[in-house]
Amino acid sequence: MKQLVSAPVLFVGAGIFLVTGLLLAFLYAPIDASTMGYSQKIFFYHAPIAETALVAFGVAFVAAILYLRSQDPRWDRLGVVSVRLGLVFSLLVMATGMIWGKAAWGTWWDWEPRLTTFLLVCFLYVAYFVLRSVVEEEQRRATFAAVFSIIAFIDVPITFFATRFLPAGMHPTVITMGGTGMPGSMFVSFFISMIGMTLLLVALIRRDLAVEELKDRVADLKNSIGG
């Protein structure tokens, strides 16, 4: 499965989709007629990145379950790598979300359910790395990280749901993701960007997995020389 598609092909594929999505977003999709205006163009990468971040955490969740079942360190590596990438994407979501907020609503931060959820997601997965950093013994670190990763991923939708209980923010107009409000041309460009981002995630996960494997290999070799 691993050798099915080589890394460069993945990166190039991701690049093609992303550029196409971007071009379509700017040239093909109409400018949003509502208050958002032109700034709505941010959406074409913002939402795919958000989706990709969640996919990354989902991958970590699955990897965690598989790790607990098999105790195979490869699943742990996949977990770390996915969480790290998920975190990078989440930070991008927050950054672009804030810029968008400023453009559309004139404020950098709004306690809007989605943004708030992503803020908590960032805290959660930073905590994941804090947890990893305070356990020395490797199996134990992997086990605890897996348990936490499972709990955290379960918590994400729950948190999102809970933020709905908060009193409505000042800006109730949020893009509804369901295809209903989206013109076809918009949807096409959005969808292509989404594929691109997901491909990019896969490519980066593979690359980072190679990094982790090499790191372990170096540690093993050092160990065998030192001992």
Partner 1 sequence: MAILRKDLIRELRTREMIISMILFVLLAMVIFHYAFSVKEDADLTYFTGGMLWVTFIFAMLLGLNRSFAQEKDERCLDGLLLCPVDRVTIFLAKTAGNLVFLLIIQVVAVPVFTLFFVSRSYVGDLVPFLIVMLLADVGICALGTLLATISMNTRSRDLLLPIIFLPLIVPVLIAATGATTLIFAEGAGFGDLLARVLFLLGFDAVFLVAAYGTYDFAIGE
Partner 2 sequence: MSDSPDGQEGAPPLEIEVEGLRKTFGRREVLKGLSFSLERGGFLSIFGPNGAGKTTTLRVLATLLTAGGGTVRVAGHDVRDDPMPVRRTVGLISHNPMLYLDLTAQENLRFYGDMYGVDDREARITELLERLELSHRRHDVVRTYSKGMRQRLAIARAILHRPRVLLLDEPHSGLDPRAVDILDGLLTEIRDEHTFVMVTHNIAKGLEWGTRLMIVEDGRIVYERAAGVDPESFSAVYREHVQEGSVL
Partner 3 sequence: MTIEEGAKFVAAAYAIILAVLMLYYVLSARRVNTLKRDVQLLEQEVQRRQIGAGGAGGE
The residues binding partner 1 (CB under 8 A) are 68, 120, 123-124, 127, 130-131, 134-136, 139-140, 143-144, 146-148, 150-152, 154-155, 158-159, 161-163, 165-166
Cα end-to-end span (Å), the chain: 35
Examine residue 211 and tell whether it contacts partner 3 (CB under 8 A): yes
13 sits in which H/E element: helix 7-23
Contact 112, 171 (CB under 8 A): yes
CA 122 to CA 50: how far, in whole Å?
12
Nearer to partner 2, 138 or 213 (CB): 138
CB of 78 to partner 1, least distance (A): 17
Asked if residue 72 binds partner 2 (CB under 8 A), the reply is no
**Residue 16 makes contact with partner 3 by CB under 8 A:** no
User: Which of the listed partners (partner 1, partner 2, partner 3, none) does 74 bind, with a CB threshold of 5 to 8 Å by partner kind?
Assistant: none
- Residues 6 or more apart in contact with residue 25 via CB below 8 angstroms: 41, 44, 189, 190, 193
**What is the rounded CA–CA span in Å between residue 77 and residue 36?**
41
Stretch that binds partner 2, among 13-21, 131-139, 175-183, 205-213 (CB under 8 A): 131-139
Q: Which is nearer to partner 2, 73 or 169 (CB)?
A: 73
119 to 138, contacts with partner 3 by CB under 8 A?
none
Instruction: Tell which residue, 90, 103, 80, has the closest CA to residue 205.
Output: 80
Q: Which is nearer to partner 3, 72 or 213 (CB)?
A: 213
9 belongs to the binding site for partner 3 (CB under 8 A): no
Q: Number of helices and strands (H, E) in the chain?
A: 6, 0
Instruction: Return phi, psi of residue 80, to 5°.
Output: -60, -50
Compute CA 42 distance to the chain's CA centroid, rounded to the nearest angstrom.
17
Q: Rule CB under 8 A: which residues touch partner 3?
A: 11, 22, 31, 37-39, 41-42, 45-46, 49, 88, 91-92, 95-96, 99-100, 102-104, 200, 204, 207-208, 210-211, 214-215, 217-218, 221-222, 224-225
